[in-house]
Chains A and B, each alone.
Chain A
């Protein structure tokens, strides 16, 4: 189970799949979700298997999520900000024309 070691309080909120997530300034979407115990961030485009954070430094692209309607955003490279709408990414991304 994750826990925070600093006593600060969460002052930023955003949503993940409609659920309100409380975060701290300096968090990334990935770290805030990790602190909330959310591990499943996307489904693989190949097999549909669940995936979560892996490298946390922008190398592996396993934490791809949809942020404010934009797919393929790296959750670990996206700083939290108030009222972001983050969604799980299911499979591949379809190009909308």
Chain B
């Protein structure tokens, strides 16, 4: 827990001795993931000709962004020692909330978007509060929320629309301006840039700065490392957890709005299973499943590895029957590289 306590003792012993720059760099949690990403990238650059085309970079980045926007808050949460299994369907819930409220009450689209934000934040607050009050493992609490949301997504959609997908709100006032915010598209040279890519980079940067440079970041590490010890030294453990869950809620809202305005409607059964992809991205990016260690940048690199692998297999034109097997093998390899680098650095 070197990030928490900075000993002021003047006596120099080997635990606090200055380390060389390279060793310090190697000890960062995201370095293994970075090497993994380079390995995956080089591999597909060799085997898939379409992977080499600059114009296709936008597709890979978009795929990474839609995972990464959620992987970053999930990673922060994991550093804080908790899980969120409801993160996948929470994205769908946010999109549905905006689409259904707007459609049912004939709201201006922007009003619906803001109400959806309140609902998403409330889901995060609910997760955090339930966790704090009950003391149950977050795995159980958020598994409960996962099922509740899955049912509400389906049930509410049918109550409101009579169908299982939200009605299109593309003919309602405010849709176009909201689309310009959440689902704009542009290009840099021949590379197509979509809104989530920029949001992803901003969220990664903000999360990385908060985690590494602020007192709140230290609190997250402390809570994830040993919550009792953290409480003993005055860290507001409950508050930290609630903020982390609400950050997941906020990012779920952002992803949900993108899906709604990029695809016009939301299918009520969507999102199931994505929670694991977010967690996988965080773990590949160097987060420990036990908490107290990890990084935001790493989670984003994890998302990039996932996206490169997924699309690289398409670009290579391989037999799709084995798709999941390739994916699994690549992910395990990336994680192993990650682990190996960490051991090497720790041994020094």
Chain B associates with chain A: no
Q: Which residues of B approach A to under 8 Å, CB–CB? A: none
| A contact set with B: CB distance below 8 Å | none
